[in-house]
Structure 1
């Protein structure tokens, strides 16, 4: 009998290893197609098959999948994004070509372009921040004045808050526009900047599979002007009315964007006018969201997502009712980050589920103001939010991490 393969386009440092393990548990042979497989160290560590191919080229991917099909039965195709969410569009096109379950590439592409996404949501009556699309510095400054400071500036395409900054003065607007336009930010096409009203209020994220809401999380950020998560917790502490209003708005967002298949995570701010959609992402949330969902609700989102991808029956029935939370480890300055193995003490605190490091000791760090600033995280779970937060605090206090500033330049 021909072995069944799960094709994964590109990888993901957080949830990629979980997909490899889950695929094997389901009796599948995971194969990663990547422009640079060496970027994902878990592939070598897990001895998982990887094939180098230009993942920006659909024809090349089709040829490589066809070669794989000579040896394996391709059960399903999925993918991940780091900075480039167009991977999901490509995955949708591959699934269509090979007649496999997958997302509608046109719907995914509408989400990938944040301006188009905003237009469709607003046209459907879904609350979004005021926004304008700018192609040059003059337009950015004009639209910032029109919307009213403070404003957010963000690239129209991208993820992980890369290139996103809160600007409170016109000088900050000019400074960040120069940063985005001067070649320091990598654009896949001609630069387009979204100038957006700053929706102020608590942050929430809704995880959905198909049309089924899995859970609503609460998140907290580090200091402005950037949006780097410091903590994340399931479930969010909401009243029944707040939960219902966020859930209804999330489902309205799906309808507006034509999303009815697979995983989606929708980000909100609860403002003085209620929930406002910040972004709709037609994909699973990154690590540690799937781990937190499993700890809080007993739902293995990675496994259920693979079942969906390969056309098997999937089940999101909750088996637990706990609170699970993450505390991200983020450096407060640039320099050489060192940490010692006594994080084993943190992992041994009752209730801690995982202590994860993204870096090796003695790693030089230059902060970017986005998800790349995370050097690790601690996750924990218990019956209550207060208890989970106490567990996290106890664990983080046991981690010995120091940052040595870079030597001063000059003589």
Structure 2
């Protein structure tokens, strides 16, 4: 047999290198198939084999995998959802075709359609925000009045809060609706857009592999109208009853959506009526969540995911001893980055596990109002919540950057 290989469909700035490093530790050769491999700088930096192929064409991917099987023993296929949620379904189809472990592509596709997901969850008795699907601007306004302002307006496809906005009045509603329905939004769907109730309360993120809850994080978001996570802490401070309730709701989500084979990330808010599910993603959470899970619980999500897709024996035994948190660095203006500094001082603070910039000096900044606005993060870890928060704040205070305003940059 040839060299054992893991196929990666597309890439990801954070989780991509983590998968490559974990695969190497497991003795696997990684091959990335991507529309534009140059988009993922870490591939060239680490001399990773990459092949240009239309990843939106399942037949082209199948042909390429058959070609690679002449040289390699392909034992697993996975990929990165990133901005394009269809990658997860494509991976499922490839795994089915080649008889490899993988998710049910039909379940993945239904889950990635936010309207279909809402319907399935509601029909199963899972508490979700009130919602409507609209295809025309007049319908958006009518449904918003029916639900009651403010409302959350979003495309039916996409991830990372791209295109998601809280609209507090008719003017904001009209402007955002025009943006989504007018074709300016990359994730606009032929099905229309979702109008949802704005539910409030503590926000939690649940990471699962199979039907097991691995970790529960508390998320802190910036001020509306956008939904940009600014801080993430594992594990969340919960009572035993709250933890059990969140676990039960998470399992109900998997059953309703036909999931439960691989990784899943569930977002919910704890409201006056209990946990209300905001969304379910049928893939691993993005970096730095996997790093935080490993620091807090001792479970390497990336390695366990690779073991799952290659049919290897897994070990999900948790040993939660630490509190790990990440603070995201987010600019307050558009422009060009003049300088960034303080990362070495911040990294030297006792308890800081990582300081990472996603950009370099002179990088143009054009804020989008979603996860792409983040330009870096700091990770801190200790044995207590208060201590971890203190470390995180001390490190963040040492970091600084300068941006020359450029108001026309984002147009």
Tell me which interval the TM-score lies in, with the shorter structure as reference length: over 0.9
Superposed displacement of residue 408, structure 1:
8.1
Residue 178, structure 1, aligned to residue 171, structure 2: no
Residue 327, structure 1, aligned to residue 327, structure 2: yes
Deviations 1:375-404 (A, max 9, x none): 000011100111111111111111121222
Do the aligned partners of residues 408 and 181 (structure 1) sit closer, same or farther apart at CA in structure 2, a change above 3 Å counting?
Answer: closer
TM-score normalised by length of structure 1 = 0.98
Match of 1:28 in 2: 28
- Alignment check: 8 A CA contact 1:206 1:266 kept: yes
Moved over 3 A (4+): 338-342
Q: After the TM superposition, which residues 172-321 of structure 1 pair with which residues of structure 2 at under 5 Å, given as runs?
A: 172-187=172-187, 189-190=189-190, 192-321=192-321
- Alignment check: 8 A CA contact 2:81 2:283 kept: no
Match of 2:48 in 1: 48
Deviations 1:296-336 (A, max 9, x none): 01111100110001000111111341100000000011122
Superposed displacement of residue 189, structure 1:
4.5
Match of 1:153 in 2: 153
Do the aligned partners of residues 136 and 306 (structure 1) sit closer, same or farther apart at CA in structure 2, a change above 3 Å counting?
Answer: same
3-state SS of 2:224 partner: coil
Cα RMSD over matched residues?
1.2
3-state SS of 2:183 partner: coil
Aligned residues between the structures: 409
Structure 1 Cα separation of the partners of residues 300 and 103 of structure 2: 20
Superposed displacement of residue 341, structure 1:
4.4
Structure 1 Cα separation of the partners of residues 338 and 345 of structure 2: 17
Higher mean displacement: 135-144 or 394-403? 394-403
Residue 83, structure 1, aligned to residue 83, structure 2: yes
Structure 2 Cα separation of the partners of residues 294 and 135 of structure 1: 43
Structure 2 Cα separation of the partners of residues 371 and 408 of structure 1: 21
Unaligned runs of 5+ in 2: none
- Alignment check: 8 A CA contact 1:181 1:191 kept: no
Deviations 1:10-44 (A, max 9, x none): 00111110001101110000101000111110111
TM-score normalised by length of structure 2 = 0.98
- Alignment check: 8 A CA contact 2:157 2:189 kept: no
Unaligned runs of 5+ in 1: none
Match of 1:99 in 2: 99
Structure 2 Cα separation of the partners of residues 276 and 334 of structure 1: 34
Higher mean displacement: 258-267 or 342-351? 342-351
Structure 1 Cα separation of the partners of residues 339 and 19 of structure 2: 28
